[in-house]
Structure 1
Amino acid sequence: MVTIHAMTPEDDAEWRALWNGYLAFYEARLDAETSAAAFDRLLDPASPVHGAFARDERGDAVGLVHWLTHPATWTRTDYCYLEDLFVAPAARRAGVGAALIAHVVTWARQHGSAKVYWLTEETNETARALYDRVATRSGFIQYQVKLTD
């Protein structure tokens, strides 16, 4: 049985372990200051960025999710963007990812968001199998112009 809870300052070490696993999965590197700033945002009640952990029956953190809301021009309410979702490899295919997504969807409903959306790499077949079960594929293709490294 997985439980979901908001992140607290005491979760720092477990968050960093999962965060580093997430970055490694995407072959990404962030400097320590950027990662520290991300965790600080997750804890700041004034920040639009939120985070939660999934814990297994032993209480170990086995997944994380980060999300934020933003105004949109196609609705009078906000959209909720699920920015980061990661489940530790040993806990995959056990419902952890679905529970984390459901947590964000519930939160977004409670806060009046018009929709929850997210991105993933085309090659992330494991995650896409889950996403195809819990959401509708939008058909849009993302483009970006990087402004910083």
Structure 2
Amino acid sequence: MNISLVIRNVEAADEGAWRRLWAGYNRFYEAAVPADVTGRTWERLLDAANPLFCRVAEKEGEVIGFTNSVLHEGTWVNEPICYLEDLFVTHEARGNGVGRALIRDLVDLGRKQGWSRLYWHTRENNPARRLYDEFVQADDFVRYRMDL
């Protein structure tokens, strides 16, 4: 990676940048997250007592990527599990190692904090799978999802 990145916890001052990236992420997945859900998500990302957290990648003072993750308990392990729910990097910054650095940040953070595992889902045809496969191969589980 030939760029100087800072990866850090999101701060209240990052709201505008995070919302722009969040909108781009939702466009990529052709999703429409209601404004009240986005607002509540932002509030939870800033709440240190909430298991939802955000890390941002910043280059020269500009936030160019993020991960939104959830720490949760599990029934097969004693240590927390981290679900990387959302990862997004600006189109202009892609291919420069930002996504790799964001995942590496979570791996390092998890090892430091004693998490048992890190996992994420993506669409089968997501071009980012080339990057994800550098960290770990996809397993053979099938996801079932029921909206309630």
Q: Same-fold call, TM > 0.5? A: yes
Shift of 1:136: 2.7
Equivalent-residue separation in structure 2 for 1:69 and 1:5 (angstroms) = 17
Q: Secondary structure at the match of 1:24?
A: helix
Q: Which amino acid aligns with 2:25?
A: Y
Answering whether residue 52 of structure 2 is matched by residue 38 of structure 1, we say no
CA RMSD of aligned residues (A): 1.0
- Of 41, 62, 65, which residue of structure 1 is paired with 2:67? 65
Q: Which amino acid aligns with 1:103?
A: D
Worse overlay, 138-147 or 7-16: 138-147
Q: Which residue of 2 aligns with 1:100?
A: 102
Alignment of 1:68-79 (within 5 A): 68-79=70-81
Q: How many residues align structurally?
A: 145
Give the TM-score normalised by the residue count of structure 1. 0.93
Answering whether residue 133 of structure 2 is matched by residue 136 of structure 1, we say no
Equivalent-residue separation in structure 1 for 2:68 and 2:106 (angstroms) = 9
Equivalent-residue separation in structure 1 for 2:96 and 2:142 (angstroms) = 29
Answering whether residue 122 of structure 2 is matched by residue 120 of structure 1, we say yes
Contact kept in structure 2, 1:67 and 1:104, CA below 8 Å: no
- Of 111, 116, 140, which residue of structure 1 is paired with 2:113? 111
Q: Which residue of 2 aligns with 1:15?
A: 18
Q: Which amino acid aligns with 2:138?
A: R
Q: Which amino acid aligns with 1:86?
A: F
Q: Secondary structure at the match of 1:129?
A: helix
**Unaligned segments of structure 2, at least 5 residues:** none
Equivalent-residue separation in structure 2 for 1:20 and 1:40 (angstroms) = 16
Q: Secondary structure at the match of 1:74?
A: coil
Equivalent-residue separation in structure 2 for 1:94 and 1:141 (angstroms) = 31
Give the TM-score normalised by the residue count of structure 2. 0.94
